[in-house]
C-alpha cells in the first residue's frame, strides 16, 4: 500500500506540523484534536477490521464518521456541542489532506459535507452578589491554606479569568504595590497566545502579596496543599467544595466558568459598557460578550419600560411648523 494511502503518516503531519507550526492553534485546541482521533481511530479500526496502524485514508469513510458521531451521543452520552466539536477536528483533518493530495479531494468533499447538528447553547449560569459573597466566606482564613484558597477564589471573581489563565499565572505576571496612583495589574495569558491585563482590587492585591512573598518570578501564584501548581482539575474540585458549603447553591453545578460568568454579569449590572467587558474577559468578538447583556431580568425590565404602551409621545414639531411645510412645498 503506498504511503500516501496510509492514514497514520497523514495524521502525524497534521497533529505535529500543521496545527502547531502552520496554524499555531492554542494548546487546548491541539489537545482536543488529539483526543478526537484517540477516540476515532479505534472505532474505525473495529468497523474496518484492521489494526489502527494499517488503516487507509479510504477506511475513514463518511459512513464511519457518522457512525462515530452517533456513538459519541448514544454510547458515551456526549452533547450535540461535543459532537460538533469532534466533527470540526475531523473536517480540519480532511481539509488538510485534500489540500495536499489531488487524488483525495473527492474523499475530502464527502467528509466535509457532513453537517453539524443544531444545538441550543446552554443557559448562562451565574451567582448573585450574595451567593458570591457566601462562596468567598467558605475558606477558613484563620489557616494558611484557607487564606490561599480565598486568594484564588477572589482572584477568579476579580478578573473573570479562565481556569487555565489562573493556573498558568506566575509571580512575574503580577504588578502590585504600584506607586504614583498606578493600578495593580495581573497579566493573563489567554487563548491563542493573547495576553491582557486586568486591574486588581485593593483586597485582591493585599491577599496576593501575602501569597507570593518570598517566591521567585517563575513560581506559580496558586499552589495546591502539596506545594505544586494548581491544575485545572484541582481548581474545579476546589470550586465544587466551596459551593457544597453554601446551602443556597444546593443542587446547582458551580464551576470556575460560572465564576467567570458571575464577574461579567456583575460588571453589566454595574453599568460597565459591553466593549470594556469584552476586553476584561479577553473575548475576540463582542458577539461572544453580548450574551451577558441578555441574562438579567432587571435590564430587560428597564428596556421594556422605555417602550411602555400608553406613555405620552413627543410632539411632532415638524408637523406644526407651518412655515417649514410651506417652504418645502415651494421647492
Report the distance separating Cα 117 and Cα 122, nearest Å.
Answer: 15
Contact 248, 134 (CB under 8 A): yes
Active site residue 47: no
- Tell the residue number behind the cell numbers 454579569, with chain if given: 265
Q: Tell me the C-alpha to C-alpha distance, in Å, between residue 11 and each of 47, 82, 115, 224.
A: 19, 21, 22, 37
Q: Which residues contact 301 (CB under 8 A, 6 or more apart)?
A: none
The residue among 301, 292, 302 whose CA lies nearest residue 266 is: 292
Catalytic residue among 260, 261, 266, 278: 260
Contact 222, 231 (CB under 8 A): no
Contact 174, 211 (CB under 8 A): no
Instruction: Give strand pairing partners of 174.
Output: 186
Catalytic residue among 83, 86, 162, 261: 162
- Tell the residue number behind the cell numbers 473495529, with chain if given: 46
| Total Cβ atoms within 10 A of residue 72 | 22
Active site residue 34: no
Q: Which bin fits 113, alpha (ψ -120 to 50), beta or left (φ > 0)?
A: alpha
Contact 80, 91 (CB under 8 A): no
Active site residue 292: yes
Buried b / exposed e along 217-243 (16+ C-beta atoms within 10 A) = eeebbbbbeeeebbeeebbeebbeebb
Active site residue 283: yes
Catalytic residue among 47, 147, 172, 257: 257
Catalytic residue among 100, 172, 191, 215: 191
* Residues labelled catalytic: 162, 191, 257, 260, 283, 292
Amino acid at each position: 500500500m503506498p504511503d500516501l494511502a496510509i492514514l497514520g503518516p497523514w495524521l502525524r503531519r497534521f497533529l505535529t506540523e500543521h496545527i502547531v507550526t502552520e496554524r499555531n492553534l492554542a494548546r487546548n485546541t491541539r489537545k482536543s484534536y488529539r483526543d478526537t482521533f484517540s477516540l476515532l481511530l479505534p472505532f474505525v479500526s473495529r468497523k474496518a477490521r484492521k489494526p489502527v496502524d494499517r488503516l487507509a485514508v479510504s477506511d475513514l469513510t463518511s459512513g464511519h464518521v457518522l457512525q462515530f458521531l452517533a456513538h459519541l451521543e448514544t454510547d458515551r452520552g456526549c452533547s450535540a456541542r461535543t459532537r460538533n466539536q469532534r466533527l470540526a477536528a475531523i473536517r480540519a483533518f480532511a481539509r488538510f489532506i485534500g489540500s495536499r493530495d489531488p487524488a483525495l479531494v473527492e474523499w475530502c468533499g464527502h467528509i466535509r459535507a457532513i453537517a453539524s447538528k443544531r444545538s441550543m447553547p446552554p443557559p448562562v449560569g451565574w451567582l448573585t452578589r450574595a451567593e458570591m459573597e457566601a462562596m468567598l466566606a467558605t475558606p477558613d482564613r484563620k489557616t494558611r491554606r484557607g487564606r490561599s484558597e480565598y486568594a484564588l477564589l477572589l482572584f477568579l471573581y476579580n478578573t473573570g479569568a479562565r481556569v487555565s489563565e489562573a493556573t498558568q499565572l506566575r509571580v512575574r505576571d503580577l504588578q502590585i504595590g504600584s506607586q504614583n496612583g498606578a493600578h495593580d495589574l495581573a497579566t493573563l495569558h489567554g487563548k491563542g497566545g493573547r495576553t491582557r491585563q486586568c486591574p486588581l482590587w485593593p483586597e485582591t492585591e493585599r491577599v496576593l502579596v501575602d501569597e507570593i512573598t518570598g517566591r521567585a518570578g517563575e513560581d506559580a501564584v496558586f499552589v495546591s496543599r502539596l506545594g505544586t501548581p494548581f491544575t485545572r482539575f484541582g481548581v474545579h474540585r476546589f470550586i465544587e467544595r466551596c459551593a457544597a458549603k453554601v446551602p443556597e447553591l444546593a443542587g446547582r453545578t458551580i464551576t470556575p466558568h460560572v465564576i467567570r460568568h458571575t464577574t461579567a454579569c456583575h460588571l453589566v449590572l454595574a453599568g460597565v459598557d459591553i466593549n470594556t467587558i469584552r476586553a476584561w474577559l479577553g473575548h475576540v468578538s463582542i458577539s461572544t460578550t453580548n450574551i451577558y447583556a441578555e441574562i438579567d431580568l432587571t435590564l430587560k425590565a428597564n428596556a421594556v419600560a422605555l417602550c411602555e404602551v400608553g406613555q405620552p409621545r413627543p410632539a411632532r414639531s415638524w408637523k406644526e411648523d407651518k412655515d417649514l411645510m410651506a417652504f418645502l412645498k415651494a421647492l
